[in-house]
Amino acid sequence: MFAFRLALALGVPNPDDLLAQMDARLFDEWQAYFEAEPWGTQAQDVRLAMLLQTLIAVNAAKSSDMPRVEELLPTWSRQMLRAAQEAEREASEDTEQPAWKAWKESLSILAQLPKR
């Protein structure tokens, strides 16, 4: 999935073309940069959920009324987060598989999720 995000951010229409143009070291550097400073709609969703949590905390009667950030994420974003975490888990178990392949597999999982 990261290859798609990077292609979108760089204005390259096809992630396969992007991957063909850069070596694995550069791709890993972009991925490390993304992990340090995320961008895109998923990062915006998390930031908005954090802001909502703050607004709820200010107005909540007691701290037990406060939802977790994950509960404030849009449904599709929660599903993406779970799929990405699963892909990372699988990639860490299979050291021979590059991270971008795990992300690509998680994208195929996301495509099968019900549309809202």
Q: Which two tokens stand for residue 21?
A: 């143009």
pLDDT digits (tens, 9 = 90+) for 55-86: 888 887 776 667 888 888 877 666 777 777 77
**C-beta separation of 60 from 66 below 8 A:** yes
Q: Is the pLDDT of residue 94 over 80?
A: no
Report CA torsion sign: 105, 106, 111, 114: positive
Residue whose pair of structure tokens reads 């990405």 in the numeric block: 84
pLDDT digits (tens, 9 = 90+) for 37-52: 888 887 888 888 889 8
